Structure 1
């Protein structure tokens, strides 16, 4: 007589994997994104089932995804970078000036210069926060206006037009590979690399430790100052890269490019499950949050919802995400207390 194997290791692995997947905050955001796409497509099939609809669905969030991933790294350390919109604007204008003032400059060099410029601006933010011991909210609110002021002073009333940029560069913002826009592929690569770093490298894991309890991380011997600097530099570099891609995507930049992007990036990260109090969340969630945020902005007009309610829906999502994070944190705290009591 044969006995049924109820303890098959493969079954247990699959079961644990499914529990982990459906229990993750990112899964809930992904389901919400799919639901928004499905409902809007049911109302207007061209939202998804058309060349432009599919392309815009993937292409539109790509720039915000990059900024949100960098923002998530900073928020995980219990900080915030409100200057990213100004960094995007400044590097977008820098991109145009490079092509105009340095004829024949290689496109790869422009990407590197944009990322380095953004990283340098992020380093300034990080140094002021880490060494000055001043709250990041205050510092980056100040640099938001400083960087924007530099951009206004530099650009004045001028703007960069698509005709000033080489066609090969502009093609990066419009062309696709197997139906997937180049910008989306690049954003996906960045998300995967950032996710791998945060999960598998010591530097990434220490960002979570710092965000969970900065004082304990300091006492434990972690390089808190160095890690905070790295987080801000990476955030600035990704914002700089986003500025270069903004020029490729839209062709036209001026002194107001990137205005308001900082709040969208914070909103995307929070909606994606990155705790505003630091210490938890993932760059994957931030990327999905960015896609959800901009997909909702595209979907609501198609569903006939007025502009006021479009903004209200985004606000409710952000508030709901913060409340949910707080509820989950309190529940976890109570569970840990109960477990300690049982051990005693």
Structure 2
């Protein structure tokens, strides 16, 4: 029996996506050579780093056939709470602020997972509700006020502007999130069980996979990474307010889908998700250079998402057909039975 060729399909898709990214960069670079400089590449990476962190968490949730629409609200609420703590405690160490951001984000993600498990509700319904709740909590915590540049803790503002070995710290945080996700999904049983559950929830239950614990893990890690992104966002842009990163959850999901992470669960690679982030980063940087209206930018992004979903669905259907392909049976009664069974199946 031929195995499903998900890995080959994903690899081929990633090479195509990489070629598209390179083509866009070269085309824009031909018009504006500065686009192909190392400085611009660092700027694109720096601008895409927070998106990459969020995408790693969202990918874990999508693998389980779920979705986390609250990541941007989690980011905004965590960022606001960290900004408030930093304003009230000027001497707070950076490690404490980082730990606080991760703890708040993880707690908010755990709430999502608990509600989904406890009441057996669809993830889209739960996270749509918590998205609004977390936004409201920002207004309550801040009293509707903004935390401006001069009120942001200097260590929070300084972190995204630091460099290590010539690379911005945001890139190092993004790289750490990517490496962690690769380690979890490739080398840990828990990560492989996320794929198994997303591929067939019923089979996963019969196989003895602790489904509830794995789902809780996925939503908690998604929340933790969103919390970390919240602190970095506030530090990078030196502001915290109620509508911070409003609508950014759609960009996160778009990057996952463009990178080949299936919204039907069980399909996707970290390298593909990173390429999805890179595609959006290059596209966002390229369109203003060629003087494309922001309205067209949104339309183009929407078209790319629809195209990616269609390609994902087509690839999954082809993979499903390959499962039924058999090698020619050997002569004899066994072969006859096998042929008969195939005919009955057809």
Common fold: TM-score over 0.5: yes
Q: Does the 8 Å contact 2:10/2:268 carry over to 1?
A: no
3-state DSSP class of the match of 1:173? helix
1:115-164 Cα offsets, whole Å, 9 max, x none, are 11010000010011122111101110011001111112222331112222
CA-CA distance at 1:43 after TM superposition: 1.4
Q: Residues of 2 paired with 1:305 and 1:121: CA distance?
A: 38
CA-CA distance at 1:25 after TM superposition: 3.0
CA-CA distance at 1:24 after TM superposition: 4.1
Gaps of at least 5 residues in structure 1 are 1-18
Q: Which residue of 2 aligns with 1:191?
A: 178
1:165 equivalent in alignment to 2:158: no
Comparing 312-321 with 283-292, greater Cα deviation is found at 283-292
1:203 equivalent in alignment to 2:153: no
Structure 1 residues 214 and 93: alpha-carbon distance in aligned structure 2, compared to 1, 3 A threshold: same
Q: Which residue of 2 aligns with 1:151?
A: 138
2:15 is aligned, of 27, 39, 62, to: 27
Q: Does the 8 Å contact 1:271/1:286 carry over to 2?
A: yes
Q: Which residue of 2 aligns with 1:325?
A: 312
Q: Does the 8 Å contact 2:61/2:67 carry over to 1?
A: yes
Q: Residues of 1 paired with 2:225 and 2:99: CA distance?
A: 11
Structure 1 residues 96 and 48: alpha-carbon distance in aligned structure 2, compared to 1, 3 A threshold: farther
Q: Does the 8 Å contact 2:262/2:312 carry over to 1?
A: yes
Where do residues 1-344 of structure 1 align in structure 2 (5 Å cutoff)?
A: 23-49=11-37, 51=39, 53-339=40-326, 344=338
Structure 1 residues 21 and 214: alpha-carbon distance in aligned structure 2, compared to 1, 3 A threshold: closer
Q: Does the 8 Å contact 1:156/1:255 carry over to 2?
A: no
Gaps of at least 5 residues in structure 2 are 1-6, 330-334, 339-346
Q: Residues of 2 paired with 1:20 and 1:50: CA distance?
A: 32
TM-score with structure 1 length normalisation? 0.89
Q: Residues of 2 paired with 1:42 and 1:253: CA distance?
A: 38
TM-score with structure 2 length normalisation? 0.89
Q: How many residues align?
A: 325
Structure 1 residues 255 and 273: alpha-carbon distance in aligned structure 2, compared to 1, 3 A threshold: same
